[in-house]
Amino acid sequence: MKKVIEILQEELSAAFEKAGYDKKYAKVGVSNRPDLCQYQCNGALAAAKEYHKAPIQMANEVVEFLKDSESFKEIAAQAPGFINMSVSDRFLADYINKMAASETLGLDKAENPETIVIDYGGANVAKPLHVGHLRSAVIGESIKRTARYLGHKVIGDVHLGDWGLQIGLIITELKHRKPELVYFDESFEGEYPTEPPFTMSDLEEIYPYASGYSKEHPEYKEEAQTATAELQSGRKGYLALWQHIINVSVADLKKIYTKLNVEFDLWKKESDAQPYIPQMVQDMKDGGYAHIDQGALVVDVKEETDTKEIPPCMILKSNGATLYNTTDLATIVERRRLFDPDEIIYVVDKRQSLYFEQVFRCARKTKIIGEDVKLEFVGFGTMNGKDGKPFKTRDGGVLRLEKLLEDVNEQVLDKMKDRDMDKDMIDDAAAKISLAAIKYGDLSNQASKDYIFDVDRFTSFEGNTGPYILYTIVRTKSLLAKVKAQNITVDEKSAIEPADSKSETDVMLALTKWSETVNAAFEEHAPHKICQFVYELSDTFNKFYHENKIVTNENEKQRESYIKLSALVGKVLETAIDLLGLEAPERM
Ligand code: ARG
């Protein structure tokens, strides 16, 4: 289904041509002066150069051909050469009715669906999931859902960090604490126990301890590095411990991601790319792309047009060890082999942007990936506390994500304690509301910007917040429940009538932005555009709701039309929040 702007543009194109001007000037946009008009075309100003005429004269000529069009309520040329337009109520209502009748609410699915891998989440095994990982999970999930909704084939991969020093640190600390464990006995030949020698809470204590200790004790750090290298070269006991670490961590991560309403199609790990490394390195050498620099194997990635220094991409350290880059490059090889994607999107902290620039350049230069495959880095900013510094616990520690969820849930439960609802219902609603508070608070900001995590603001039921959006959806639901309870008949076939108030027109105009919003959010990897849309729609709907009688309206035709419009608003909002990874409760 065409977007309103496209329909208007077609009409204007025809008028420009009739007036003797090129239709390329008939560009229509949403007005930036909504007090004057809804849409606007500035083409006459641009055309003046080509036709050596006063723009206002040209605008007047074009408008002359459109004055009788049924699409417009108002169309006028405005000095120095704008064409201002507002669509007719009939036009708008027709559009809204088509939207209501369409399964995708008027949105066209992608004509050429692409295969897209999204690398997000990025948790590390053995380390508790902390707030720093929240943004990747929340933003990536929304990008994934949006792409999928448009019909693309999307593969979401958590890409767990399981191959680095953190494992060596845990092995080392365990060895100090429990040297008697069979995993450390190199002569052991039997089967290792199936039960892990630690729980997740043990790991959560061991890792920070070992990490802190290693910073002050170089010999301990060296031990951990050796353990990491031994693991990576296949020491059996360590591999068995590592497998336990992964199992325990993954079970815990799945639990938390489920709570966050974040789902991965793949639970691949950095280590899964290891088998691809030897051949990749060989190809880099054979192709003459890599050279030895101070013992290390590197690929130069700087380009003449660089304005800042882009260091070479290191593939192997002088001791032959692989690095984070090596794994990422090998993962590209793996993804290409397994999925042949058209695009790979990485949702990672923007502080890794230089790193990804190096990796992408290296992948292209060494022909690991062709020019036809898009590599996109979606870098996100930091989640700060009210003091403007990275979000921390009160005592300055790193806040566990699970704890954050609990705290916000407490706060929401507190707000709802006087509700006349069953406990189960309150619990369910509170879980959905707190998730909306957290995720919407994050997603409503442009991803690349830092933002302030303000629990009081985010959990508010008013203003541009997740709970406010859910509240609006619940309002549409209870309105429909009343219709049902009171046996008010709504004729299936009857249509939504042209608007009879400004507030109703505003709701309809907000609704028409649905398909352009989803497309823009996808193309620009910008979930905040969906947030802007749901907020505008909620806000206009609530105004309409307050100014008009809906269920109690005595005018039957109007009542039916208003109910249908409200139902459509609810449906569009629910579809939109699903793209944000949110759900609305039945009541709140
Ligand atoms: N595990 C990494 C971290 O915590 C993020 C992984 C991002 N993805 C990637 N392909 N490098 O920083």
- Return the ligand 1 atom nearest residue 124 CA: 1
CA-wise closest residue to 573 among 526, 523, 536, 528: 536
From ligand 1's centre to the CA of 122, what distance in Å? 5
For residue 445, the CA-to-ligand 1 centroid distance in Å is 22
Residue of 283, 307, 279, 285 whose CA lies nearest to 298: 285
Selection from 477, 584, 518, 426 nearest residue 149 by Cα: 518
pLDDT of res. 396: 67
Q: How distant, in Å, are the alpha carbons of 140, 410, 472 from that of 431?
A: 21, 10, 17
CA 271–ligand 1 middle distance (angstroms): 13
pTM over 0.75: yes
Find the 158 Cα to ligand 1 centroid distance in Å: 9
Protein residue closest via CA to atom 11 of ligand 1:
328
Nearest CA to ligand 1 atom 5: 122
Q: Write down the pLDDT at residue 430.
A: 97
**pLDDT value at residue 489:** 86
Amino acid at 114: E
Measured from the Cα of 355, ligand 1's closest atom is: 11
Sequential pLDDT tens for the chain (588 residues): 999 999 999 999 999 999 999 999 999 999 989 899 999 999 999 999 999 999 999 999 999 999 999 999 999 999 999 999 999 999 999 999 999 999 999 999 999 999 999 999 999 998 878 787 899 999 999 999 999 999 999 999 999 999 989 999 999 999 999 999 999 999 999 999 999 999 998 998 999 999 999 999 999 999 999 999 999 889 999 999 999 999 999 999 999 999 999 999 999 999 999 999 999 999 999 999 999 999 999 999 999 999 999 999 999 999 888 899 999 999 999 999 999 999 999 999 999 999 999 999 999 999 999 999 999 999 999 999 988 888 877 776 677 888 899 999 999 999 999 999 999 999 999 999 999 999 999 999 999 999 999 999 999 999 999 999 999 999 999 999 999 999 998 888 899 999 999 999 999 999 999 999 999 999 999 999 999 999 999 999 999 999 999 999 999 999 999 999 999 999 999 999 999 999 999 999
Please give the full DSSP string across 478-515, using - where no structure is assigned: HHHHHHHHTT----TT--PPPP-SHHHHHHHHHHHTHH
The Å distance, Cα 300 to ligand 1 centre, comes to: 22
Taking the C-alpha atoms of 397, 131, 129 and 165 in order, what is their torsion angle to the nearest 10 degrees?
-70
The protein residue with its alpha carbon nearest to ligand 1, atom 10, reads 328
Return phi, psi of residue 105, to 5°: 60, 35
For ligand 1, residues with CB inside 6 Å are 119, 122, 124, 159, 161, 328, 346, 348
The confidence score (pLDDT) of residue 21 equals: 96
Residue 452, token pair as written in the block: 């302030």
Two structure tokens written together for 148: 């999928």
Query: 126: phi > 0 → left, psi -120 to 50 → alpha, else beta; which?
Result: left
Cis (ω within 30 of 0) for the bond into 80? yes
Q: What is each CA distance from 378 to 166, 344, 448, 526, 571, in whole angstroms? A: 26, 11, 8, 9, 30
SS3 state at 6: helix
